[in-house]
Structure 1
Amino acid sequence: MIIDADNRAAKLQRVRSGEKPRVLELCSGCGGLSLGFAAAGFNLQAHVECDPIAAKSYALNFEPPEGVSSDKWSAPRDMVEQTADDVVDDLGLATPAAASFDVLAAGLPCQAFARIGRSKLRSLKGDVDAFRNDPRARLYKRFLQYVEAVQPVAIVIENVPDILNFGGHNVPEEICATLEEAGYNTGYTLLNAAFYGVPQIRERLFLIALDQSLGIRPSFPEPTCKAELPSGYEGARTVALKHVPSEGSRFTPIPQASAMAAGAVSTKEAIADLPYISEHFRDPAAMRRRKVGDELAYRSYVDLSEYARRMREWPGFEAGESVTGNVVRLTPRDFPIFRRMPAGADYPQALKIAEEIFAERLLLELSPPPHGSKPWDDLRGQCVPPYDGGKFPNKWWKLDPALPSRTLTAHIGKDTYSHIHWDSKQQRTISVREAARLQSFPDGFQFAGAMNAAFRQIGNAVPPLLAMAVAERLRNDLMATRTEKGVGPTPPDSMAA
């Protein structure tokens, strides 16, 4: 890989003179990572996103650089089909790719790396190794080609922890080794969004690389909150870390919250002030007519938490007296189940409740149908979901108002049963705006497309508050001097969880 030391030196001088670092983001989605970088004082110079709806959302929320048309700014692009110079030419930027950007960032698609995604690929393609052949699993190699073309002084990659075990291969170690040959100091670690003010237990890998001329190793933000990780997350973390080499690793110890850190933001603190929604069972036709962009007033009688105030008042994304995104799924069979589920309940408990509801319905029948008959099956189907409780224990989950939410994924674009509102009076899954709040998108952030597309964009995104913490630390590192931080490989005994 070519190293253009003079170019990188000029970029560092530019940044250290006070100019905002210019960012090119690949696989930008709707802009969660970009929002964090913008809040930390970076300049969003260009982005690449192949999903046209997500690309439109990005353009709705971020102004194009001077001289770039809104049509070009909102257009979808494919990082495989277009080179860095193609992107620059298409946008009409004044300088070539190697001179246009200081930072290269990407939240690379995680479906081929995530264990849940691997299982789906196996079932769809009938191939146990389908995840290895998924083109998305090779995008990191394409990303490295962008590194050579752009010659950034800093690099940020976000992905799921399972990328540490891609069929036994630690992909971040490979990326780091390649980047070190290209003149970068590298490091990676696991960060959980709940430790950075996001009301969601969301574990992600972050890899950062800095030009070696800085003379420092990358660092990661210190947690501002403390939270107890559920056993499933602790287990996944342990499995991922097993694939970190015992010697010569680029892994950085996971930052630990201090004993004095504030508690994690709860789901109640996050969304209790958002509009009360009941049209889905009172007037389904009204819910069908409602659009993602339609506004409803906030709940004025609810105490406003510090987190909610921050989401309402995010600079550049301030909300007024009302907010968009108040659409929910119409699943009438399950509303009575939602109402009876206790906070924190999962699918096996929901299934038990559904069977109780079915038994009650049978008692109301003047002539109960015979067990196993078609009328009996039909009535049961009106009350009881069809999924096996043993195979899908985590398919449903009712939010606990006192705790952070579980991880939001792109699958909420298809169903939101993993996030049922704790308020039994509302008997529903979360709305688009509630999902956005749990991901730390401010209330003024808008989503293009209909409900399913909005949910998918939110689930795919990097939480903006976590992105901002990473970006703030990165900017500090870019301004640091050789005497401020040590250089050298991570010692083998530093692999503390």
Structure 2
Amino acid sequence: MADSAIEQKLARLGMGAAPRVLDLFSGCGGLSLGFHKAGFEITAAVESNPVAAASHARNFHAGDSRHAQALDITQVKPSQLASRLGLGRVTDAVDVIIGGPPCQAFARVGRSKLREIDDDPEAFRHDPRAKLFAPYLDYVRAFRPLALLMENVPDAMNFGGKNIPQEVCEILINQGYICAYTLLNAAFYGVPQMRERMFLIAFRREIANEIAFPAPVSWIDLPAGYTGSRNVALKLITAKRRTDEVCNYVDPPEADGLLPSAVTAHDAIGDLPEIRALDLLGCGVLKRGARRLDELLAYDPGRPVSAYVREMKEWSGFEAGAGISDHVIRYLPRDYKIFAGMKPGDQYPQARAYALALFEDGVAEAKRRGRNIRAGSAEYDDLRRKTVPPYDHTKFPNKWRKMWRDTPARTIMAHLGKDSYSHIHYDSDQARTISVREAARLQSFPDGFVFEGAMNQAFQQIGNAVPPLMAFALAKVMKNTLSDARSVRRANELVLGATG
């Protein structure tokens, strides 16, 4: 028997209507932005962080207070969401569900944090964030979308011996969907960032019999570490393939060296006005305190603009104005000289070694000026504290990293909300960590996209997001399936069958 809700949705799309999207765990809207660019209608979102929810509402719903309210997906039922937003009957309300349940519990760094907290090697299994794919599936059952997209870290495929995406696929297949998942790196899709993520796509059987993932548009020879991380994530997949067990994982589309080179960090942020931290510190302009995002800074007309930057400035619906208002950096007076002396690719051990050299120079300079600073004295300890970072260089050696100019950036993460040492600007003359707008550019957020909150909150929202251009690539292939001639014919057949 035909499903009336599916019939009506197919008929609506068959008449040329835009597919309606519900974004779960939406954050500020990285996935939403990519789908919006591909011609989808962003109908609703569910996000528990109030600042991120406000950002999503401002950018997609003109700040409508109904959409700006933070919502806990474990507490708000689908019927309550539909009623709150005036969406009508739940089964008729949306065509596509997208979203990425919080990934901290799945990521290996997240697991180590949980172990430290609970002193239990298996604590990550019990983190409630690891179970948030269940309410995602509850929303799928209720809204009965034609298609869905789920995003997460690669480690979700090897989570304490469980393959979460495979389990999700098996549930969806029982609900009438076809399903597949893979690993995609954003650098192959026009994003100036080497960010690897798992993406799962599902369609109702009525409209598709296979899943397509987007073909790469750019090329990069990824560093060796990405291959190692991918192999860990694929460990359970490899075991299943050896035993010919059913597995819905598919290998990602291949890229080749004939494609244009990946967008580099300099391509993405090289046009932005310089912020010379040491100069600003010396003249007292850069001071301690909260960094707001509302001070407009004009673009520098003398700096060359790449094709990527033009796209960020001219993104339809999110065009840039006279300048940017979030090109702000952290106040790190101890570290600016260290940043200046680091070489691209240097990490914390190299940074600490350079800081120790600066400290020794400081001791020698004091001696030349007639002050003999003895080891163990208060003056000696004070100078060391003001010069050398206190972090243990044997732990988390990649806590600091100076970016390369001519490659995509490493993964932008939500930890930027606490510090930005993972992305030190490649330009030694500027000697600083990246700004909020630079982080947004490296994630492929257009310059007209507005982040609510202060600096730390904006950094966190950016790091948590799916790069919009990565989302756009996925949205395009999904829209092709939803709007192809076979889907339209099937919609017509269903309508005729229901009325005949």
Tell me the CA shift for residue 329 of structure 1.
0.6
CA, structure 1 residues 283+107, in 2 after alignment: closer, same or farther (shift >3 Å)? farther
Divergent runs of 4+, >4 A: 283-290, 481-484
1:178 maps to which of 171, 174, 178: 171
2:55 maps to which of 35, 54, 57: 57
Secondary structure of the corresponding residue to residue 180 of structure 2: strand
* Corresponding residue of 1:445: 449
* Corresponding residue of 1:91: 85
Q: For residues 270-419 of structure 1, what are the structure 2 equivalents within 5 Å?
A: 270-278=268-276, 280-286=280-286, 288=289, 291-365=292-366, 366-419=370-423
Tell me the CA shift for residue 285 of structure 1.
4.9
Q: Distance in 1 between matches of 2:43 and 2:428?
A: 45
* Corresponding residue of 1:225: 218
More off after superposition, 119-128 vs 53-62: 119-128
Secondary structure of the corresponding residue to residue 55 of structure 1: helix
Q: How many residues align?
A: 477
Q: Does 1:141 align with 2:134?
A: yes
Tell me the CA shift for residue 482 of structure 1.
5.9
Question: Do the aligned residues in 2 keep the contact of 1:292 with 1:450 (CA within 8 Å)?
Answer: yes
Unaligned 5+ runs, structure 2: 489-500
* Corresponding residue of 2:22: 24
Q: Distance in 2 between matches of 1:482 and 1:322?
A: 46
Unaligned 5+ runs, structure 1: 485-497
Q: For residues 161-176 of structure 1, what are the structure 2 equivalents within 5 Å?
A: 161-176=154-169
Q: Distance in 2 between matches of 1:251 and 1:482?
A: 25
Q: Distance in 2 between matches of 1:348 and 1:183?
A: 53
CA, structure 1 residues 147+390, in 2 after alignment: closer, same or farther (shift >3 Å)? same
* Corresponding residue of 1:105: 98
TM-score (norm 1): 0.93
More off after superposition, 256-265 vs 97-106: 256-265
Question: Do the aligned residues in 2 keep the contact of 1:4 with 1:151 (CA within 8 Å)?
Answer: no
Question: Do the aligned residues in 1 keep the contact of 2:207 with 2:487 (CA within 8 Å)?
Answer: no
Q: Deviations over 1:9-56 (max 9, x none)?
A: 221221132110001111000001000000001011110001000001
Q: Distance in 2 between matches of 1:303 and 1:333?
A: 32
Q: For residues 451-462 of structure 1, what are the structure 2 equivalents within 5 Å?
A: 451-462=455-466
Q: Distance in 1 between matches of 2:208 and 2:314?
A: 38
Tell me the CA shift for residue 371 of structure 1.
2.1
Question: Do the aligned residues in 2 keep the contact of 1:273 with 1:302 (CA within 8 Å)?
Answer: yes
Tell me the CA shift for residue 129 of structure 1.
1.6
Q: Distance in 2 between matches of 1:242 and 1:233?
A: 14
Q: Deviations over 1:333-378 (max 9, x none)?
A: 1010001111221111111110110010000113333223443222
Tell me the CA shift for residue 483 of structure 1.
11
Question: Do the aligned residues in 2 keep the contact of 1:293 with 1:446 (CA within 8 Å)?
Answer: no
* Corresponding residue of 1:255: 253
* Corresponding residue of 1:73: 67
* Corresponding residue of 1:420: 424
Q: Deviations over 1:400-421 (max 9, x none)?
A: 1111000011100000000001
Secondary structure of the corresponding residue to residue 357 of structure 1: helix
Question: Do the aligned residues in 1 keep the contact of 2:97 with 2:148 (CA within 8 Å)?
Answer: yes
Question: Do the aligned residues in 2 keep the contact of 1:37 with 1:467 (CA within 8 Å)?
Answer: yes
Q: Distance in 1 between matches of 2:446 and 2:208?
A: 36
Q: Distance in 2 between matches of 1:435 and 1:188?
A: 28
Tell me the CA shift for residue 385 of structure 1.
0.8
Q: Distance in 2 between matches of 1:175 and 1:127?
A: 27
CA, structure 1 residues 289+243, in 2 after alignment: closer, same or farther (shift >3 Å)? closer
Tell me the CA shift for residue 99 of structure 1.
0.7
TM-score (norm 2): 0.92
Q: Distance in 2 between matches of 1:199 and 1:415?
A: 21
Question: Do the aligned residues in 2 keep the contact of 1:441 with 1:463 (CA within 8 Å)?
Answer: yes
CA, structure 1 residues 274+389, in 2 after alignment: closer, same or farther (shift >3 Å)? same
CA, structure 1 residues 289+81, in 2 after alignment: closer, same or farther (shift >3 Å)? closer
Tell me the CA shift for residue 259 of structure 1.
3.2
The amino acid that maps onto 1:7 is A
Tell me the CA shift for residue 96 of structure 1.
1.5
